[in-house]
């Protein structure tokens, strides 16, 4: 019995060593993102108003000079978003039926680090991804705290899985958040309601 236990322990140690070695040789890492969000729901006008602090730790071997952020409520902003165009390509009339009063968005953003405002802009081909330029490069192993206020107009629930129907709310993917940075680089993507979301 003792020999069997020793054998099992030896196998377990070998397996764990293989896992650690594989992770080290493949360059696996994961950025650390911690959120502190305060938010209020205005259920008369269907808005979320909040403030967000994000502690972002660069666990990659790379120096980062910019960050990509998802602003996914902007997928509901107008008929020119990737989400809207996906529906149109599928002959789906959800945006048209919802009308402009049913649209949603995020605004009132002012990204800052240590009280210094960052320069940022949405990408040319999609308004639900933003590019933030850092004032100081973020070195491997270092952390920064990014702050911003935000306001979200909650869209009609008839469009997709984020929205309201009267005073019934389905709240998902509603706050600004960094895109994934992995060993292949940035993985930012526009919001579509097919599939799931790749997040830290």
pLDDT digits (tens, 9 = 90+) for 126-154: 999 999 999 999 999 999 999 999 999 99
Residue 84 sits at φ, ψ, to 5 deg, of -60, -45
Half-sphere exposure of 37 (CA within 13 A, CB side): 15
Integer Cα distance of 142 and 159 in angstroms? 40
pLDDT band at 118 (very low <50, low <70, confident <90, very high): very high
Give SS3 for 38. strand
Contact between residue 33 and residue 200 where contact means Cβ atoms under 8 Å apart: yes
DSSP state string for 40-57: EEETTTTEEEEEEEEEEE
pLDDT band at 22 (very low <50, low <70, confident <90, very high): very low
Integer Cα distance of 138 and 56 in angstroms? 10
Give the global pTM.
0.83
pLDDT band at 1 (very low <50, low <70, confident <90, very high): low
pLDDT band at 195 (very low <50, low <70, confident <90, very high): low
Instruction: Say which residue, 31 or 5, is predicted with more confidence.
Output: 31
């Amino acid at each position: 019995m003792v020999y069997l236990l020793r054998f099992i322990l030896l196998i377990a140690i070998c397996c764990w060593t293989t896992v650690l070695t594989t992770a080290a040789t493949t360059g696996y890492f994961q950025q650390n993102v911690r959120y502190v969000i305060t938010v209020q729901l205005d259920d008369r006008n269907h808005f979320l108003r909040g403030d967000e602090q994000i502690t972002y730790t660069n666990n990659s071997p790379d120096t980062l000079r910019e960050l990509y952020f998802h602003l996914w409520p902007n997928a509901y902003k107008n008929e020119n978003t990737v989400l809207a165009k996906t529906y149109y390509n599928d002959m789906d009339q959800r945006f048209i039926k919802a009308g402009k009063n049913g649209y949603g968005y995020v605004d009132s953003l002012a990204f800052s680090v240590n009280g210094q405002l960052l320069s940022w802009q949405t990408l040319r081909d999609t308004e639900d991804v933003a590019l933030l330029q850092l004032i100081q490069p973020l070195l491997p192993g270092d952390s920064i705290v990014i702050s911003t206020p935000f306001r979200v107009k909650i869209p009609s629930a008839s469009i997709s899985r984020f929205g309201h129907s009267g005073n019934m709310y389905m709240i998902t993917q509603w706050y600004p958040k960094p895109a994934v940075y992995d060993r292949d680089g940035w993985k930012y993507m526009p919001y579509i309601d097919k599939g799931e979301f790749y997040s830290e």
